[in-house]
Amino acid sequence: MHKALRPVLTAGVLAGLLAGCATTAPAHDGAPTAAAAAITPPGTAIASAHSLATEAGLEMIRRGGNAFDAAVAVSSTLSVVEPISSGLGGGGFFLLHDADSGRDVFIDARETAPASATPEAYLDADGGLDRDRATNGPWSAGIPGLPAALVHLAREYGELPLSTSLAPAIRIAREGFPVYERLERGYARRSAVMERYRGTREVFLADGDPPQVGETLRQPDLARTLELIAAQGFDGFYRGDVGQALIASVAEEGGRWTVDDLAGYEVRLREPIGFDYRGWHVVTAPPPSSGGVALAQMLQILGGWDLAAMEEPDRIHLVVEAMRRAYRDRTIYLGDPDFVDMPLALLTDPAYAAGLRATIHPDRATPSDLLSGQPVPLEDDETTHFSIIDGEGNRVSATQTVNLLYGSGLVAPGTGVLLNNEMDDFALKPGTPNAFGVMGFAANAVEPGKRMLSSMTPTFIESDDKVAILGAPGGSRIITEVLVGILGFDAGLDAQQVAALPRYHHQWLPDVISAEAGALSPSTVKTLEAMGHTVNAGEDTWGNLQAVAWDKRSGELSGGTDPRNPVGEAAVLPESTTNP
């Protein structure tokens, strides 16, 4: 099953690599000193995209739990209150720092392709990509990973039983929560697909009409499924009544999942990617996320310059050129490490980054290999990130998703579980862009049991002075959102300022700089265009970054929640208020 993937180096990259060998590595050594690592934060900070989830996490700390118990509570509550973004029917990545051992661990709870998922299954009669199958209903769904992650987190790292850490989610699912604007708007965009399915209608049209702001959304079946997980762990979701109901529902809608697909699901523990950037040590997501590799490339390219000393157009030009190069490598090389051999050591090597840096012209855009027309319309209200640090110094950076708005739109009747549409993250038809306009080839081709490539990039950064934890939704734009966030922390901004930073993005193809309104000044846009860039300034906002930070010198804990999302909350709980 394992496919050897040979690195494809273009002449230009190779020349750059060689040139890079002669240049020096980034100027700073980022490893924080042992003395700085020994102290602990004065409490807990949690930032998430919904205040009910942040509060659920704080409740676990008050009950004597740690950051990992809080993560179970936040994750499961987000699964209830943000069905638009993530849920038990989806997957996610959990980056942990265990203060006792000092170890960083990456829990990969990405969905897997069911046995029925062959490339042919996603082609239409003319051999084109069947976009309906790729993004709607049973064929678009991978085998969920999030429930297995919750069970693993609680068992291996938590101090509280699942019955405690899942209690807020169970309560909110049963009693309901107030519908907010993003939920109503997302439902309106997705209703035609969602209302195809009996189980989905039972949840979202329970009162006869679509969810509206101010109404209470109750999900009693989801509460029952959560209770089964609390009582039976893995088997409560992947075997027994819930497992059978998922298989039956997929079959009822024309898809095919097996008992083995579900019972055989396993989280994978992976070594995070680590590298240094200007005095920061960055710990981030390895494959099957593309985020860490891309971040390592971009920041190590940029580490060769003093960005702060530059005029805005020059700075943006260089950051965009770094983005362009990292996204090209993402497209060609990256996939599920259990299925493909990737040249990871090379791709994340400072010498490789130096080589890429040498290929960047200081004031001319490098045209991407192919020019395509317009950027793809952005789906931006899905996926969710949360960041936690507790009083012992444990850290969690977690991004979880059902992929596009309300995932596949399919709720398995009787379970409350809305299935993801993560299969679209595979290169279902090699070379054909997915919903985020990114494409892939052999490394990310679909195969039974394989994990689809992701952009989710839960990240820690640490210097002698500071720890920051951040991440975001935004599809292929997640990685550049995290990059802009790290550059913000490096420039001295606090967590709230970082969450609010205006965003810009380039993903190799299409060969366009996308920018939120106000992110680039008109004169910067003009200069970038004169350098040969195509700039789409004034796009709608995107993303939903959640960050916490701990200043090791002053002891200050802080959080930042994205102002683009009014229902998020960043909160700090001082140590003295916990009650173990």
Interaction of residue 401 with ligand DON, rule CB under 6 A? yes
Exposure string for 128-158, b = 16+ CB within 10 A, e = fewer? ebbbebbbbbbbbbbbbbbbbbbbbbbeebb
Cα→Cα distances 331→269, 273, 416, 426, 507, Å: 24, 18, 35, 11, 10
User: Per the annotation, does 475 bind a ligand?
Assistant: yes
Interaction of residue 483 with ligand DON, rule CB under 6 A? no
Cα→Cα distances 148→61, 83, 145, Å: 22, 18, 6
Interaction of residue 456 with ligand DON, rule CB under 6 A? yes
Least Cα distance to 176 among 228, 210, 214, 227 occurs for 214
Judged by CB under 6 A, the residue of 82, 98, 261, 422 near ligand DON is 422
Window contacting ligand DON (CB under 6 A); options: 2-10, 218-226, 369-377, 380-388? 380-388
Cis peptide before 510 (omega within 30 of 0): yes
Judged by CB under 6 A, the residue of 59, 98, 380, 447 near ligand DON is 380
Which residue lies nearer to ligand DON by CB, 77 or 86? 86
| Total residue length of the chain | 580
Least distance from C-beta 339 to ligand DON, angstroms? 17
* Distance, CA of 387 to CA of 395 (rounded, Å): 8
Which x/- pattern over 63-102 shows residues binding ligand DON (rule: CB under 6 A)? Answer: ----------------------------------------
Least distance from C-beta 308 to ligand DON, angstroms? 29
Q: Which of residues 251-290 bind ligand DON (CB under 6 A)?
A: none
Which residue lies nearer to ligand DON by CB, 77 or 454? 454
Least distance from C-beta 283 to ligand DON, angstroms? 19
Interaction of residue 454 with ligand DON, rule CB under 6 A? yes
CA 408: distance to chain centroid?
18
User: Per the annotation, does 402 bind a ligand?
Assistant: yes
Cα→Cα distances 489→296, 457, 498, 560, Å: 16, 16, 7, 12
Interaction of residue 398 with ligand DON, rule CB under 6 A? no
Which residue lies nearer to ligand DON by CB, 384 or 527? 384
Interaction of residue 383 with ligand DON, rule CB under 6 A? yes
Interaction of residue 473 with ligand DON, rule CB under 6 A? yes
User: Per the annotation, does 258 bind a ligand?
Assistant: no
Least distance from C-beta 382 to ligand DON, angstroms? 4
User: Per the annotation, does 85 bind a ligand?
Assistant: no
Which residue lies nearer to ligand DON by CB, 230 or 293? 293
Window contacting ligand DON (CB under 6 A); options: 27-35, 238-246, 279-287, 468-476? 468-476
Which residue lies nearer to ligand DON by CB, 454 or 524? 454
Q: Which of residues 22-61 bind ligand DON (CB under 6 A)?
A: none
Judged by CB under 6 A, the residue of 199, 335, 474, 488 near ligand DON is 474
**Terminal C-alpha separation, the chain:** 49
Catalytic hit among 112, 331, 383, 524: 383
Which residue lies nearer to ligand DON by CB, 26 or 475? 475
Interaction of residue 165 with ligand DON, rule CB under 6 A? no
Interaction of residue 425 with ligand DON, rule CB under 6 A? yes
Least distance from C-beta 363 to ligand DON, angstroms? 33
In the structure encoding, which two tokens stand for residue 497, read together?
A: 């300022």
Least distance from C-beta 356 to ligand DON, angstroms? 23
Three-state DSSP class for residue 453: coil
Interaction of residue 475 with ligand DON, rule CB under 6 A? yes
In the structure encoding, which two tokens stand for residue 480, read together?
A: 């550049």
CA 554: distance to chain centroid?
30
Cβ atoms of residues 334 and 341 within 8 Å: no
User: Per the annotation, does 328 bind a ligand?
Assistant: no
Cα→Cα distances 50→54, 218, 337, Å: 7, 16, 33
Which residue lies nearer to ligand DON by CB, 219 or 403? 403
Q: Are strands 417-418 and 411-412 parallel, antiparallel or unpaired?
A: antiparallel
Judged by CB under 6 A, the residue of 66, 403, 434, 524 near ligand DON is 403
Which residue lies nearer to ligand DON by CB, 146 or 573? 146
Q: Are strands 535-539 and 513-516 parallel, antiparallel or unpaired?
A: parallel
User: Per the annotation, does 249 bind a ligand?
Assistant: no
Cis peptide before 288 (omega within 30 of 0): yes
Write out the H or E segment, with its range, that includes residue 96.
Answer: strand 91-98
User: Per the annotation, does 293 bind a ligand?
Assistant: no
Judged by CB under 6 A, the residue of 104, 382, 494, 539 near ligand DON is 382
Q: Are strands 411-412 and 504-505 parallel, antiparallel or unpaired?
A: unpaired
Cβ atoms of residues 277 and 300 within 8 Å: yes
Exposure string for 172-184, b = 16+ CB within 10 A, e = fewer? bbbebbebbebbb
The torsion angles phi and psi of 183, rounded to 5 degrees, stand at -70, -45
Interface with ligand DON (CB under 6 A), residue total 15
Which residue lies nearer to ligand DON by CB, 20 or 475? 475
Active site residue 383: yes
Interaction of residue 455 with ligand DON, rule CB under 6 A? yes
Interaction of residue 359 with ligand DON, rule CB under 6 A? no
Least distance from C-beta 325 to ligand DON, angstroms? 19
| Total Cβ atoms within 10 A of residue 219 | 29
Cβ atoms of residues 446 and 524 within 8 Å: no
Q: What angle do CA 441, 543, 566 make, to 5 degrees?
A: 155
* Distance, CA of 133 to CA of 119 (rounded, Å): 12
User: Per the annotation, does 12 bind a ligand?
Assistant: no
* Distance, CA of 41 to CA of 550 (rounded, Å): 7
Interaction of residue 478 with ligand DON, rule CB under 6 A? yes
Window contacting ligand DON (CB under 6 A); options: 169-177, 350-358, 378-386, 567-575? 378-386
Detail the residues annotated as belonging to a binding site for L-glutamate.
Answer: 110, 401-403, 425, 454-455, 475
Q: Enumerate the active-site residues.
A: 383
Detail the residues annotated as belonging to a binding site.
Answer: 110, 401-403, 425, 454-455, 475
- Give the residues lining the site for ligand DON (CB under 6 A): 379-380, 382-383, 401, 403, 422, 425, 454-456, 473-475, 478
